[in-house]
Amino acid sequence: MSDSTDEVRSYTVRLELVDKPGALLDALDPIASNGGNLLSIFHERGNLTPRGQIPVEVDLEATPERFEGIVEALHEAGINVIQAGAERYSEAITVVLSGHLIKTDLSDTVSRIQEATNATVTDLSLSAPEGTEAESEEPSSARIRLATEQNATQAVIDTIREVAEDKSLRVIEPLGPGGDL
């Protein structure tokens, strides 16, 4: 096991951005300028944080020293950093939720799952035949792909079950190893 500060590691940075043209680019510049290698960006433009900003999750690779410089540069650029830390996501699972997803606040559902499990949503596909108005009486469904830490898959599924039960949603779980339906 190496404690080398030259070792490249995976990190996740959660940001809040103002909804204006160029805000995402402004947030990515300190990462690139300080030697970060982008792995993925999850930009939830349709959702707002309690402060009315856009949540963005950036997965990147960097040495620990460079990562510290990246976080410092983000702060100096006036970017609101919600969380910055080493998170290794080595497993992925896909689940389907069905029921009154819109009426029970899909954004809240996803947030509760992510916050309780330290998993990250990498893809979400919503099917709402009657539209996304909260008053709709028709059920909807969402396919959600999550990246999880190694050996955390069962805890993520347990949390999904709990959230779904609280909101009277149905869960279609992964069929077996590999986490895909």
| Domains of the chain, start order | 9-85 (3.30.70.260), 91-172 (3.30.70.260)
Q: How confident is the model at residue 159 (pLDDT cuts 50, 70, 90)?
A: very high
* Cα–Cα dist 156/163, whole Å: 11
What angle, rounded to 10 degrees, do the helices at 64-76 and 23-33 form?
140
Task: Single out the residue of 142, 172, 141, 143 nearest to residue 157, CA to CA.
Answer: 172
- At residue 176, the pLDDT reads 56
- At residue 10, the pLDDT reads 86
pLDDT greater than 60 at residue 140: yes
The two structure tokens encoding residue 93 = 């699972």
Rg from Cα positions in the chain: 18
Q: Which residues contact 113 (CB under 8 A, 6 or more apart)?
A: 119, 121, 144, 146, 156, 159, 160, 163
The two structure tokens encoding residue 146 = 């999550």
35-60 average pLDDT score: 83
The two structure tokens encoding residue 61 = 């690779």
Q: How confident is the model at residue 136 (pLDDT cuts 50, 70, 90)?
A: low
Q: How confident is the model at residue 2 (pLDDT cuts 50, 70, 90)?
A: very low
152-172 average pLDDT score: 93
pTM for the predicted model, two decimal places: 0.52
Helix (H/G/I), strand (E/B), else coil: 29 = helix
- At residue 124, the pLDDT reads 83
Q: Could you tell me how far CA 18 lies from the centroid of its own chain?
A: 18
CA–CA distance from 30 to each of 24, 77, 79 (Å)? 11, 8, 10
Q: Give the position of tokens 């599924």.
A: 157
